[in-house]
């Protein structure tokens, strides 16, 4: 009853003209069908592609929202600094510029039935995830010279099978390979953390098609 009351209040405060429905509960936080559809439209806007509402796309959007909520919960508990309004403004401006400027961006918002505030909220969640990765995982993820040299050996073996001419030198490849390894290991650490968090925090799917 308490969760239902919260859901009704949230729905009325966000869009009084729309009857929203509960989709997922993550702990005591909720994701509504409206938020799920917004995620689909914002993603399409950012990728400059049409909105796709297939079951696969809806499930992927639901997974993103669940993961972002798990991260936000941990950010709050760990008291990591959240992105500032200035950070979100800069990110939004990058999106505006990549869309062809303010006028074209405004047309895109209208085309996808979105507001600037909705896009800002989704960008803030994306920045929160990036901030979480930087604080939680980056400091502990490394790639030694031996790791880089092993990766280079694998690269050279693959190069010989698909390219003519000599491969890039080890010295030219060292830092790009190190960055690639760190990125891969950071992604792996994040995925492990997300899998463990899904076990620790109760996640209820009211829309069973999203499981």
Taking CB atoms within 8 Å and a gap of at least 24, the contacts of 120-125 are: 120/88, 120/92, 122/38, 122/39, 122/42, 123/88, 123/91, 123/92, 123/95, 124/83, 124/88, 125/68, 125/72
Which residues are 26's β-sheet partners?
29, 203
Q: What is the DSSP string of 19-38?
A: ---EEEEETTEEEEHHHHHH
Hey, is 193 helix, strand or coil?
Answer: helix
User: What are 19-54's pLDDT values in tens digits?
Assistant: 579 999 999 999 999 999 999 999 999 999 999 999
The pLDDT mean for the chain works out to 89
Task: Give the pLDDT confidence score for residue 105 in this predicted structure.
Answer: 95
| pTM summary value | 0.80
Higher pLDDT, 66 or 167: 66
Q: Could you report the per-residue pLDDT of 136-172, keeping only the tens digit for each?
A: 998 889 999 999 999 999 988 888 777 778 888 999 9
């Amino acid at each position: 009853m308490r969760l239902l009351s919260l859901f009704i209040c949230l729905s009325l405060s966000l869009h009084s003209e729309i009857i929203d429905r509960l989709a997922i509960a993550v702990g005591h936080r909720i994701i509504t069908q409206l938020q799920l559809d917004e995620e689909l439209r914002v993603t399409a806007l950012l990728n400059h592609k049409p909105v796709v509402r297939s079951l696969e796309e809806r499930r992927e959007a639901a997974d993103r929202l669940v993961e972002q909520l798990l991260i936000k919960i941990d950010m709050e508990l760990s008291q990591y600094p959240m992105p500032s309004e200035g950070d979100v403004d800069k990110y939004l401006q990058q999106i505006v510029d990549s869309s062809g400027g303010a006028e074209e961006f405004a047309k895109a918002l209208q085309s996808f039935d979105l507001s600037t505030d909705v896009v800002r909220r989704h960008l803030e969640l994306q920045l929160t995830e990036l901030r979480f990765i930087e604080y939680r995982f980056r400091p502990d993820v490394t790639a030694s010279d031996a790791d880089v040299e092993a990766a280079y050996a694998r690269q050279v073996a693959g190069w010989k099978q698909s390219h003519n001419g000599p491969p890039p030198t080890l010295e030219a490849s060292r830092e790009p390979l190190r960055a690639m390894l760190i990125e891969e290991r950071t992604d792996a650490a994040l995925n492990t953390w997300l899998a463990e968090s899904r076990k620790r925090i109760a996640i209820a799917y009211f829309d069973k098609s999203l499981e």
